[in-house]
Amino acid sequence: MKIHSNSTPARLLLALCIAGGAASVSAQTTNPSDNPRPPGMPLASPPTGAALSPTPFEPADHAFARLDTTRRGFLTRDQLGALERFPFDEADIDGDGRLNAGEFANAWGRYMSRK
């Protein structure tokens, strides 16, 4: 059986092949780092959009990701306001007014041991 390029089924098949190819090219060109996600548990947010306070059982990297609601890679004093008596000044080793993941991780251990 010969399919003519002018027939409707042949045009439909060609259109589906082209659309499928475009979708696979689109999927291949998406860069996963455009939308980074922290490892482990997904972030939880209440209806207000603010981060939920981390629990004492969370590792520092999960707590950092949960508190970094702006996804800028650092935490400010305001973002840590929910953590009562968190040693922000002690943790801010370079004195730039924000905590990177390393500074936070060091302080998180001390903070959790005081609770």
Report residue 15 as tokens.
């259109």
Beta bridge partners of 76: 98
pTM score of the predicted model: 0.54
CATH assignment, 35-115 = 1.10.238.10
CA distances from residue 107 to 7, 61, 99 in whole angstroms, order as listed = 70, 12, 10
- Kindly report, residue by residue over 15-59, the tens digit of the pLDDT: 555 655 544 444 445 444 444 555 555 554 444 455 567 776 789
Beta bridge partners of 14: none
Higher-scoring residue by pLDDT: 93, 13: 93
